[in-house]
Amino acid sequence: MHRWNEPDPSPYLSSLEIFWLNVKPVLLEAGYRLPAKYDLAWQPKSRADRRAAKAFKPVRFLIGMIRTLDNAQVMAKHVQGCEEAMVRHLSTLPESPRNHCTPILDLIPTPDNEDGSIMIMPFFLPAHQPLFETVGELLEFFRQMFEGVQFMHGHRFAHGDCTLENFAMSSAEMYPYGFFPFHPDKSRSFRRNISPHGTRTSSWPRYYIIDFERSCHFPFEQSEPARNEQIRAARTPGRNPFPHDIHYLGQILKKRFLEDGPFIAENADFLWPLAIDMLHETPSLRPTIDEVVSRFHNIVAHLPSSRLRRPVYRIHPFYRLQQTFARASNILLFRAPMPRKRPSPVSVIPKSALAFYTQAAISEDGDDNEENKRERVIFRTPRALLPWVPPMTLAERLE
């Protein structure tokens, strides 16, 4: 095993990449090939090879590699400890269109001198890259996001870290020929620039939930409220992980889209009431994931096609013309602004288990110290949703 104070065995590998060098024989035996730079005898033959080697670096224990059977790109992650146990448990869940947990293609044990396992997954894109172009594309992401979390909650899994970065998108629809790992603007060889093959509207992708480092699971026999000690009391007093997930999802709506500078907020202002309730300061008063899915379905069902085709971000006028052309093309080709076949909402939480999913595991006040109370952010209703109040007259001000 490589030690941190030892010199790197290759000038093209950093200390963080030595783990993958150590497990290379195991991966080869299982049918997966790392890039050429992980061969200690490799030397770049050109400036392009040198740039590609410098650009190829693992990100958060993730690395791209090739499956030798069909030369397909896959993603690998080193999982260990609680995450490894959670991944093994999630792999036993039934196959379902509502299951958006990352598909596990293979789970390879590491050598004896390394801990954990190597999880092989499909080649993903970040869920928000490339940028969403229309309101319909954004709403389809939200629909699958809520649906995936609902499936997990229904099987008594709480994710624990539902940030935007922990949602991924299948890449085959927009990049059928692949791309350089973590650089979707570069070809697989890193020698030329590429762009997406169409948009989400032309070929709807599937979204997945990734990263289960903070996830937890509870047996169906448990009736008392769920509890997870890893939760910060400032976000969810009482430490019930299910309202905690709801708060994270509400933060995605609020901070990453509705309040984002380039985002055209007025085109999606109908999401504010749902976001407000999901961010309620009292966790037990936040909606359950069933209520979120049902309310979201009702919101989308009443939106006209013209609203769904509106742009999402403020962009340069040159690109706005290109966007207008794409919108006209979608209309002429009869492409729906959202997938026509969308499942109807279901309920996964029985009424007898509402306390388990909503109530605080311990006193919400007793769980809070003064520091957490100062850190807690109280949600304020956006000005656009406040009732109009006439300005005070001069006489009223003088009083």
Name which of 88, 117, 122, 89 is nearest 103 in CA terms.
122
- As given in the structure block, the two tokens for residue 134 are 């229309």
Q: What is the pLDDT of residue 239?
A: 82
Count, residues in the chain = 399
Q: For the domain 125-174+191-385, what is the CATH superfamily, name and number? A: Transferase(Phosphotransferase) domain 1 (1.10.510.10)
Question: Is the Cα torsion angle 180, 200, 342, 335 positive or negative in sign?
Answer: negative
Torsion, CA 311, CA 317, CA 320, CA 324, rounded to 10: 120
Q: What is the pLDDT of residue 291?
A: 97
Q: What is the pLDDT of residue 374?
A: 41
Q: What is the pLDDT of residue 360?
A: 81
Name which of 349, 379, 152 is nearest 277 in CA terms.
379
Torsion, CA 213, CA 219, CA 220, CA 225, rounded to 10: -80
Q: What is the pLDDT of residue 261?
A: 73
Residue 286 near residue 295, CB atoms below 8 Å: no
Both ends of the chain: CA-CA distance in Å? 79
- Domain residue spans of the chain: 15-93+103-122, 125-174+191-385
- As given in the structure block, the two tokens for residue 3 are 């030690």
Q: What is the pLDDT of residue 51?
A: 85
Q: What is the pLDDT of residue 2?
A: 47
What is the pTM for the complete model shown? 0.86
Per-residue pLDDT of the chain (399 residues; tens, 9 = 90+): 444 444 456 666 777 788 888 899 999 999 999 988 888 777 878 887 888 888 887 777 889 999 999 999 999 999 998 899 999 999 889 889 999 999 999 999 998 767 899 999 999 999 999 989 999 999 999 999 999 999 999 999 999 999 999 999 999 999 999 999 999 999 998 889 999 988 999 999 999 999 999 999 999 988 888 887 776 655 676 688 999 999 999 999 999 999 877 788 788 999 999 999 999 988 989 999 999 999 999 999 999 999 999 988 887 676 677 777 778 888 888 899 999 888 899 999 999 999 999 988 766 555 555 444 444 444 445 555 554 445 555 555 445
- d(C-alpha 157, C-alpha 134), whole Å: 32
- What DSSP element (H or E) covers 122? strand 117-122
Question: Is the Cα torsion angle 152, 154, 157, 163 positive or negative in sign?
Answer: positive
